[in-house]
Amino acid sequence: MLEEHQVYKGSIVVTTNSETNIEGRTLIQGNIVENSGGNSISAQYMSNVIISGNTIKGALSGAVDAHISAINTGTSRQENVVVSGNLISDDTGNMPHGVHINYVDGLTISNNRVRMLGANVTAGIRPQEGSQADVFANSVTLGSAGSPYLLFDMKGTQFGNIGRGGSSWGALSEIASRAEASCPSTISFRVNFNGTTTPSLSSISAPDNVGVTESETGGVRIYLSRIPDSSVLTPIYDNGSNGLMVSGSTVRAYLYTRGFSNSEIVVGIVNPSNGASIPASSISSGSIYVTIMIS
pLDDT at 23: 55
pLDDT in tens, 139-186: 888 887 888 888 765 667 777 788 777 766 543 433 333 333 456 789
> Where does 7-177 sit in CATH, by number?
2.160.20.10
Mean pLDDT of 94-114: 90
Asked if the domains 7-177 and 187-294 are classified in one and the same CATH topology, the answer is no
Question: What's the CATH number of domain 187-294, 1.10.760, 2.20.25, 2.40.10, 2.60.40?
Answer: 2.60.40
The 3 state secondary structure assigned to the chain is CCCCCCEECCCEEEECCCCCCECCCEEEECCEEEEECCCCEEEECECCEEEECCEEEEECCCCCCEEEEECCECCECEEEEEEECCEEEECCCCCCEEEEEECEEEEEEECCEEEECCCCCCEEEEEECCCEEEEECCEEEECCCCEEECCECCCCCEECCEEECCCCCCCCCCCCECHHHHCCCEEEEEEECCCCCCCEEECCCCHHHEEEEEEECCEEEEEECCCCCCCCEEEEEEEEEEEEEECCEEECCEEEEEEECCCEEEEEEEECCCCEECCHHHEEEEEEEEEEEEC
The reply to whether the predicted model has a pTM over 0.75 is no
pLDDT in tens, 217-242: 999 999 887 777 778 889 999 998 88
Q: What are the residue ranges spanned by the domains of the chain? A: 7-177, 187-294
Q: Which of the pair, 117 or 172, is modelled with greater confidence? A: 117
